[in-house]
Structure 1
Amino acid sequence: MKVEQIYTSCLAEAAYYIHSNGEAAIIDPLRETAPYLERAERDHVKIKYIFLTHFHADFVSGHVDLAKKTGAQIVFGPGAKGDFDFYNGKDNEEFPVGDGIIKLLHTPGHTLESSTYLLIDKNKKDQCIFTGDTLFIGDVGRPDLAVKQGELTEKDLAKHLFHSLRDKIMPLPNDVIVYPNHGAGSACGKNMSKETFDTLGHQKEVNYALRADMTEAEFVKEVLTGLSKPPQYFSKNVMMNKGVNPEFDSIISQGTEALIFDFVSKKQKEGVLILDVRSQADFTKEHIAGSIFIGLNGQFAPWVGALIKDINQPIILICPEGKEEEAVKRLSRIGYDNAIGYLKGGVQTWKDNGGATDFIESISPEEFEAISEKEGGKINVLDVRKPGEYDSEHLINATNEPLDYLNENISNLDKDKTYYVHCAGGYRSVIFESIAKAAGIHHIIDVKEGFGGIKNKTKLDRKEFVCPSTLV
C-alpha cells in the first residue's frame, strides 16, 4: 500500500491519500477536491472511502463534495452527527482498501467522535496510524474545543484523551509511523514539532504526553496548562463541517470575477470589506483607503479567521495579478465563501478613477533606533507578537498588544498618539496597522523586519524572560 501525505503549509494541515490494487482512501481532505481526483486518475484507482478523524475546527473539509464526485463512502467515528449521508464506524471496525485494511480506533479526547485510523498491510502488519488531532508530533490535541455547556468540561475531555492514548495508541508497535493532521503553526495544539511524521517509539521517548509513568491527574494538568484562547472561527468551521456547504467550484467562480471601479466603490460604501492580499511592502507603499491587509505570503487563512469576525462578510480582493484563484481558495478553506470578486487592475485602477489611497510610514531598525535615542526612549512602541514571544524577549519600553486580540483591544489605542509597531519579522505588524488605520488611527509607523531586525541591527535595551521552573 502506498501512502502520500499532502501537506498544506499555510494551514499546517496534512491530508492523506492511500491506494492499493485499484482502490484508494482519503483521510481528512481539504475543501478543494482536485488534488485527490487528480491523484486517483493518475494511478487509475477508485476512491472508495473518505475517512474523517473528527469534525475539524480549523478548516472546512471537502468530504461532501468529494463523495458526490466519486461515490466514495464518508466515514466518521462513533457518535458523529451531521446533515449529510455518512457511515458511523465502530471501534475496531475494519475497512478493506485494495490489499490492505484500515482499522478504526475510537480515540475520544480532542472531540468525542475523534478516531485514529490504523493501516494494516496485506501481511497483517501494523504500518502506520493517522491520528487526526489526537496525537501530534511532540504534542496532543487540545481538549477544550468540544466542551459542551452542562455536559462536558475540558477536564472530562482531557481524561478521555489520556485513556485513548494509553489504551489504544501506546500499545501499538514502536515502529508504527504516526501521521497527524497538523504540524507546527496550528492552533489545534500548543507545542507541535516542525516534523510532520515520526515513529510511535520515538514519540514515546520525547512527547511529554506519552510519558509512561504519567498519572491521569498529571496529564490533565499539563495538557490544559498554557492553552491560548481558540480563534473565533473554530466553532463556525465545526458547524460547517457538520452541514452541507456551497460547492467549491461555485465559490471559485464567484470569487474570481473581475470587477470594475464603479461597482467596487459602491460596494465599499455599503460595507463590503476590501481585502488586500499583496505583499506588505506593496501595501505600506500605497493601498486603497479603508482596506485591510492580510498577505498571501504569510499565514493568510488563520489570520483571516482570527480577525474577520463575520464568516459571511462580503469581500472584494486586491491581488497580485494571477493570484485571484489562490486567494479565493484559501479563504474558502476556512469557510469564508463570500468573496464576490477582485478589482481588475487593483490599486492603479482605483487611483486612475479618482479613488482615495493611503500609505503606512515604514522605517528601518536603524532609523527606529535613532528616533528612540533622540526621544530618550520615550516613544510608544507596540509589540504585536503573541504573549509568549513577548515574554521570551522584548524591548524594555514596548507594550504588548497581540494582533490576535486587536479587535477586542483596539479601544486601547489613542488616536492622538504616534505608535511605532513591530512584530517578529514584519508581516503581522502591517496587518495590525491596516486594521488600526481602517478604524481611524493614523499616527502609526511600521518598523520593518520586526523584532528580528531590531535585535540584529540595533543596540536597543531588551528584557529576556528567565523561566523559574519547568513542568515535569
Structure 2
Amino acid sequence: MTITTIETSSLGDRSYLIDDGTVAAVIDPQRDIDRALAAAGERGVMITHVLETHIHNDYVTGGLELSRVTGAEYVVSALDSVGFPHRPAHDGDVIETGTLRFRAMHTPGHTHHHLSYVLLDGTGSPSAVFTGGSMLYGSTGRTDLLGAQHTTELTHAQYHSVRKLADELPEHTEVYPTHGFGSFCSATPTSGDSSTIGEQRAVNPALTQDEQAYVDELIAGLADYPAYYAHMGVINSEGPSPIDLRMPERVDPATLRRRIDAGEWVVDLRQRRAFAAGHLAGSMGFELSTSFVTYLGWLYRWGAPITLLGTSTRDIMDARRDLARIGIDNVTGSATGPIEQLATSDQTLRDYRVASFADVASARAERPITVLDTRLSNEHESGAIRGAINIPLHELLARREEVPSGEVWVHCQSGYRASVAASLLDQPGREIVLIDDDFDNAQANGG
C-alpha cells in the first residue's frame, strides 16, 4: 500500500491518499479536490472512500464534493449531525476497500466526536494511524474551538485519546496527522515531518506529563485563533458548495478606484516591499505567501466583496484558490500588471519607508516616534521593544483610533503581519515606517 501526502502549507494541514495499487481512500481532503484527483490519477487508482476525522474548523472540506464526483462512500462520525448523505462511522467500525482496511477509533478532544483511522496491514496489525487533530507531532490539537464552556472537558478527553492511541498501537505505527504544520488548530507548535507512536511516547506532552499538568499547560498556552474559524464548522456541517476556481472578472482603473472609495476590499498581492514602494491609496497589502490566507481570513468581514491585484494571472488564481479553501468566494474582480497602470490618470500612488530594527534606536534619538507591535499579546508579553504599543493585527481594524498620529514604526515577528498593518494604517497625514526584519534582531540592536 502507498500513502501520498497532499500538503496545504498555507493552512498548515495535510490530506492523504492511501491506495493498494487499484483503489484508494482519501482522508480529510481540502476543498480544492483537483489535487486529490490528480494524485489518484498519477497512481492510476480509483477513489472509493473519503474519510473525515472530524468537522473541520480551519478549512472548508472537499470531502462531500469528492464523494459526489467520484461516487466514493463518504465516511463521517456517526455522532456528528450533518446535512448530507454519508456513511456513519462508530468507534471500532472497519472500513474496507480492496485490500485496504481502516479501523475507526473515537478520539475526542479536538472535537467531541473526533475519529482517528488505523490502517491495518494484511495480517490485521496496525501499520499507520491518521490522527486528524488528536495526536500531532510533539503536540496535540487545540481544545477550545467549540467554545470556552467545553475547553476543560475536551482537554481532559484529548489527554486520554492520545494515551489510548499510544496504548493500543505498536511502537512502529506511523503517525499521519491532519493539523500541526503551522495550523492554528495545534495547541502548541509541532516539530518534525514524520513520526511513529514510539517516538511520540517520548516527546508528546500528553504522554510525558501527568493529566493535570498537561491540562493546565495546554489551557494556559491557548492563544487567539483566526476569526474565520467561526464559519468553517457551520459550512462543513451543512455541506459545502463546489469550489469555483475561475479567473475573476477583470476590472479597469476607474472601477478599482470606485470600489476603494466605496470601502470595498481591494487586496494587493505583491511583495511587501513592492507595496511599500508604491500602491493605490486605500488598497490593502496582503503579500501572497504561506501567511496570506490566514491573516486575510482573520481580518476579513465575512461576505464582503474582494478585488484582487497581482503582477500576474497566476497570482490571482493562487490567491483565489487559497481564499476558497476557507470559504471566501465573493471575489468580484481582478487586475494585473504594473501598479502604475492600475491607477487612474489623476491618482498619485502612495508609499512609505521600509526599515530594520537597527534603525529604530537612531530614529528615537532624533525625534519622537511610536513603535507599534502587531504580534499576539502573548508574544508581546514574552519580549517587547521598550515603550512599544501592542495591538495585535487581528484587532487593528477595530482599534485604529488608538494608534497615535505622527510617525509610526510597525513591526511583528518576521515582517508579514507588520506589512499588512502598515497598509491598513497608511493614509494622508500619517507617516508609516514598516520594520521588515526578524524580531530577534530587535534585542541585538538594544530593543
> Residues 162-241 of structure 1: matches in 2 within 5 Å?
162-211=159-208, 214-215=210-211, 217-241=212-236
What does the per-residue CA deviation read over 1:209-252, in whole Å, with 9 as the maximum and x for residues that have no partner?
Answer: 112x623x33332321221123211110111111233321xx22
TM-score by length of 2: 0.93
Q: 1:318 to 1:162 in 2, by over 3 A?
A: same
Who is 1:285 aligned against? 277
> Residues 36-55 of structure 1: matches in 2 within 5 Å?
36-55=36-55
Offset at 1:168? 4.3
Offset at 1:142? 1.4
Q: 1:395 to 1:424 in 2, by over 3 A?
A: same
How far apart in 1 are the matches of 2:53 and 2:356?
A: 46
Q: What SS is found at the alignment partner of 2:135?
A: coil
- Whether 1:413 and 2:403 are equivalent positions in the alignment is yes
TM-score by length of 1: 0.89
Offset at 1:341? 2.2
- Identity fraction in percent: 28
> Residues 45-444 of structure 1: matches in 2 within 5 Å?
45-147=45-147, 153-211=150-208, 214-215=210-211, 217-248=212-243, 251-253=244-246, 255-308=247-300, 310-321=301-312, 322-345=314-337, 347-375=339-367, 378-414=368-404, 416-437=405-426, 442-444=430-432
Aligned 8 A contact 2:26 2:49 in 1: yes
Who is 1:32 aligned against? 32
How far apart in 2 are the matches of 1:154 and 1:393?
A: 28
Offset at 1:146? 1.7
Aligned 8 A contact 1:20 1:97 in 2: no
Q: 1:79 to 1:346 in 2, by over 3 A?
A: farther
How far apart in 2 are the matches of 1:200 and 1:7?
A: 21
Q: What SS is found at the alignment partner of 1:11?
A: coil
Aligned 8 A contact 1:183 1:195 in 2: no
Q: What SS is found at the alignment partner of 1:193?
A: coil
State the aligned residue count: 446
Offset at 1:260? 2.1
Aligned 8 A contact 2:172 2:197 in 1: yes
Q: 1:40 to 1:147 in 2, by over 3 A?
A: same
How far apart in 2 are the matches of 1:218 and 1:236?
A: 32
Offset at 1:366? 4.1
Offset at 1:169? 4.3
Offset at 1:273? 0.9
Aligned 8 A contact 2:422 2:434 in 1: yes
Q: What SS is found at the alignment partner of 1:16?
A: strand
How far apart in 2 are the matches of 1:244 and 1:270?
A: 33
Q: 1:454 to 1:108 in 2, by over 3 A?
A: closer
Aligned 8 A contact 2:60 2:232 in 1: yes
Q: 1:190 to 1:244 in 2, by over 3 A?
A: closer
Q: 1:144 to 1:48 in 2, by over 3 A?
A: same
Q: What SS is found at the alignment partner of 1:264?
A: helix
How far apart in 2 are the matches of 1:33 and 1:161?
A: 30
How far apart in 2 are the matches of 1:53 and 1:7?
A: 16
Measured on the aligned residues, the alpha-carbon RMSD in Å equals 2.1
User: Structure 2: which 5+ residue stretches go unaligned?
Assistant: none
Aligned 8 A contact 1:383 1:421 in 2: yes
The letter of the residue matching 1:24 is A
User: Structure 1: which 5+ residue stretches go unaligned?
Assistant: 463-472
The letter of the residue matching 2:210 is M
How far apart in 2 are the matches of 1:224 and 1:300?
A: 27
Aligned 8 A contact 2:4 2:39 in 1: no
Q: 1:448 to 1:220 in 2, by over 3 A?
A: closer
